[in-house]
Amino acid sequence: MRALARTEGDIWPQAVALANARLDFIRTNALDETVRRRYATAAPTGLGTRPVRLAILASSTVAHLHAPIRVAGLRRNIWIETYENDYGQYLQELLDPHSALHAFKPNAILFALDARHLAQGIHAALTEADATQALDDAKALILQCWRAARQAFNCPISQQTLLDPFTPLMGSNEHRLPGSRSAFVARLNAALRDMADAEGVDLVALDQAASRDGLPAWHDPALWHRSKQEVSPAAGPAYGEMVARLIAARQGRSYKCLVLDLDNTLWGGVIGDDGMDGIVIGQGSPLGEGFVAVQEYAKELARRGVILAVCSKNDEANAREPFEKHPEMVLRLNDVASFRANWDDKAANIKAIAAELNIGLDALVFLDDNPFERNFVREQLPMVAVPEVSDDPAEVPQVLADAGYFESLAITDEDRERTAQYQENRARDQLRANASDMETYLRGLEMRMVWRRFDKIGLQRIVQLINKTNQFNLTTRRHTEDDVAAIMADPASFGLQLRLLDRFGDNGIIAIVIGRTTSPGIMAIDTWLMSCRVLGRGVEPTTLNLVAAQAKALGATHLIGEYIPTKKNGMVRDHYENLGFAVTSKDQDGRSTATLDLASFTPAPTFIETIEG
Amino acid sequence: MTIPASQEAIYVALTEIFNDVFMRDDMELTPALTAKDVPGWDSFKQIEIMVSVEERFNIKLNTREIDNLKNVGDLADVVAKKTT
């Protein structure tokens, strides 16, 4: 840490690595201070993530939580600036357009309202009706805050649920005392869930964390009396993690794929030595049930959109056999999108898995009981998340959940279908291997591109794609739901969502293009992004045909394409040139613009049928 | 005031904590050292020090004990009392 402070120049990558170590709150503060000193005048650039300006609106002391939140952002390669209101003034600052909060211009808001503040006026002598009225008042205050924040700043809002610091007055049956503060907190926490869903607010579930870790891990009454810290400094790093996971999830930065070892990770024993009847899996033995629980957790993750892959040192036939034939296995081959069982090293196999699934290595979590393999992968592929797990399967699901790799805010139908889509991709690869040339292969796919202007139904998926696509993304401009709504409302702009179907199935929405008229006749392509799943199928020229037609319909004579380089989008550097645009400028950072004269443009031939629908 | 021989180990540990909290590597703790003598030692840092001391020595300092601390010597005394 001290060496980092003395290092010259750009220290961001080393700081990210340090942030990934297990840091206590003192070291978290020290790392934060080092980073902030270095980037005091200008935030680091080219991170490929959206910088966040987070306003923490709190009713008690949160000064000690800024550093943990920023370091948890650093851990995810996200630059976070933080702001907090003057003590107790959260509502005044929210409602006053001339306040320091408004001057800060937040693009994310966290409400940290403590239980003592919200339970003001609750006492044991209240009647049922009074207590319910007080609950309604607290809910109304919170709603007022959310709506005022949304109206003023148009940005994602998160809300921490309440820790319950109150000593019970009744005991186990506290809920029977209408005026119990503890019962009030429980009722408000329950109400917050429905309110948050209705208002599109994300929760930071402190109550859940405290019920798991115990209240003393989160709250120290002596510190409350001393400094009005509701969350104790020792819990700061855990708090920062929870907040930053939501921020990262909003940017689509959660992990996407769980890579599983087999022997002694999914079952007990070694399949190659012990055979089908020797491995331990299933009911009847504590260890066997533990492995079932690991598989069930993986299966549940897959059902809600996490991709599963297998990476094992085994002969492939041996490795597949339990998935095909063992009656106690929960996971089956069709749950696994990429299956690598061979004798190559695991880093090479993990790279192959990422390539096959067309996702970044930094979207992978690798689960393995063997400390040698974990360390090897950490060393070779530091961007892959490798949780430290014990050899007891009973502990594995909780370790995975606690690490928050797969933090998610909402579920779309496509999440549920993802593994099926990857399965279809394998069938396509098979066809490609059989087809003698590319043209025959592409024709054989019977592709249909179904396009639509942006609409309310697709909104969630559109925003998700805009905020998480890194590789095939010309400008990496991140847009919020409200930005997208603004494009929908603008008659001089168009937003296109493209779906690709073929004989193997529906690939879902695979491309987004946004065009804006910047001056009469000039249509600038603000955003062009595509899912890497459909690369190499001639989707790009077909998309350009459509974009050109849309631009012409809005009176454009020229299309302007722009490439803004990031660490991840090198693959589209020459995208516009390849499509026949003329490059008009290129600066030394690699940023370029290109133009296409629509008068002389002739649509490219394509194997894809284009349909509006 | 000099450091009592029996408390040398405590001062070594406290020095580490102070170096971490103030991001330095040259803290020299003496029993007479107070918050006024160290730039940046405010109430925020004070809490960091207390929480770190509690974690490092696996003890809990109560409100009275913290309020009665006037200097590093007092802190070392409380730690010595609670760890023996």
Q: What is the DSSP string of A261-272?
A: --BTTTBBS-HH
Per-residue pLDDT of B24-81, as tens digits, reads: 889 999 999 999 999 999 988 999 999 999 999 999 999 899 999 999 999 999 999 9
Nearest by CB to B51, from A2, A225, A233: name it: A233
Give burial (CB, 10 Å; 0-12/13-18/19+) of A445: buried
The total number of residues shown for chain A amounts to 613
Positions of E strands within A156-256: 157-160, 202-204
Determine the pLDDT at residue A437. Answer: 64
> Closest Cα partner for A244 from A85, A337, A108, A335?
A108
Are B51 and A229 within 8 A, CB to CB?
Answer: no
Q: What does the block give as tokens for A582?
A: 């003329």
Say whether residue A66 is in contact with chain B using an 8 A CB cutoff.
Answer: no
Are B17 and A26 within 8 A, CB to CB?
Answer: yes
Which residues in A lie closer than 8 A to residue B52 (C-beta atoms)? Answer: 24, 26
Which residues in A lie closer than 8 A to residue B48 (C-beta atoms)? Answer: 25-26, 29, 64, 233
Are A226 and B52 within 8 A, CB to CB?
Answer: no
Are A26 and B62 within 8 A, CB to CB?
Answer: no
ipTM of the complex: 0.83
Which residues in B lie closer than 8 A to residue A2 (C-beta atoms)? Answer: 23, 25
Determine the pLDDT at residue A273. Answer: 83
Say whether residue B5 is in contact with chain A using an 8 A CB cutoff.
Answer: no
- Report d(CA A375, CA B16) in Å as an integer: 30
Q: Where are the alpha helices (DSSP H) in A119-180?
A: 128-153
Q: What does the block give as tokens for A406?
A: 């797969």
Residue numbers in chain A where pLDDT is lower than 70? 410-420, 422-423, 430-438
Cα B40 to Cα A64, A521, A574, B21, B53, distances in angstroms: 15, 60, 53, 10, 18
Determine the pLDDT at residue A412. Answer: 59
Are B48 and A234 within 8 A, CB to CB?
Answer: no
Beta strand A157-160 with A108-112 is parallel
Per-residue pLDDT of A189-234, as tens digits, reads: 999 999 998 888 999 999 999 999 999 999 999 999 989 999 999 9
Are B47 and A25 within 8 A, CB to CB?
Answer: no
Determine the pLDDT at residue A417. Answer: 63
Are B47 and A64 within 8 A, CB to CB?
Answer: yes
Determine the pLDDT at residue A411. Answer: 62
Query: How many contacts does A have with B, using Cβ atoms within 8 A?
Result: 41
Per-residue pLDDT of B11-36, as tens digits, reads: 999 999 999 999 888 999 999 999 99
- Report d(CA A266, CA A565) in Å as an integer: 41
Beta strand A558-563 with A522-530 is parallel
Determine the pLDDT at residue A438. Answer: 67
Closest B-chain CA to A221: B63
Which residues in A lie closer than 8 A to residue B44 (C-beta atoms)? Answer: 63-64
Nearest by CB to A26, from B48, B62, B66: name it: B48
The total number of residues shown for chain B amounts to 84
State residue A22 phi and psi, 5-degree precision: -75, 105
Nearest by CB to A63, from B44, B52, B66: name it: B44
In a 13 Å sphere around the CA of A104, the CA atoms on its Cβ side amount to 22
pTM exceeds 0.80: no
- Report d(CA A104, CA A52) in Å as an integer: 12
Determine the pLDDT at residue A471. Answer: 83
Q: How far apart are the first and last CA of chain B?
A: 22
Cα A326 to Cα A25, A282, A317, A320, distances in angstroms: 47, 10, 13, 10
Nearest by CB to B52, from A26, A34, A63: name it: A26
Chain A closest-CA separation from residue B76 CA (Å):
20
Say whether residue B15 is in contact with chain A using an 8 A CB cutoff.
Answer: no
Closest B-chain CA to A225: B63
> Closest Cα partner for A163 from A192, A132, A137?
A192
Closest B-chain CA to A234: B51
Candidates A1, A23, A24, A26: best to mutate against B (most CBs of B within 10 A) is A26
Say whether residue B58 is in contact with chain A using an 8 A CB cutoff.
Answer: no
Which residues in A lie closer than 8 A to residue B20 (C-beta atoms)? Answer: 26-27, 30
Mapped onto helix, strand or coil, the DSSP state of residue A139 is: helix
- Report d(CA A109, CA B23) in Å as an integer: 30
- Report d(CA A186, CA A177) in Å as an integer: 12
| Mean of the per-residue pLDDT values of chain A | 89
Helices and strands, counts by H and E, chain A = 25, 17
Determine the pLDDT at residue A542. Answer: 94
DSSP3 helix / strand / coil % (chain A, rounded to 5): 45, 20, 35
- Report d(CA A442, CA A307) in Å as an integer: 26
Chain B closest-CA separation from residue A63 CA (Å):
8
Mapped onto helix, strand or coil, the DSSP state of residue A385 is: strand
Determine the pLDDT at residue A200. Answer: 85
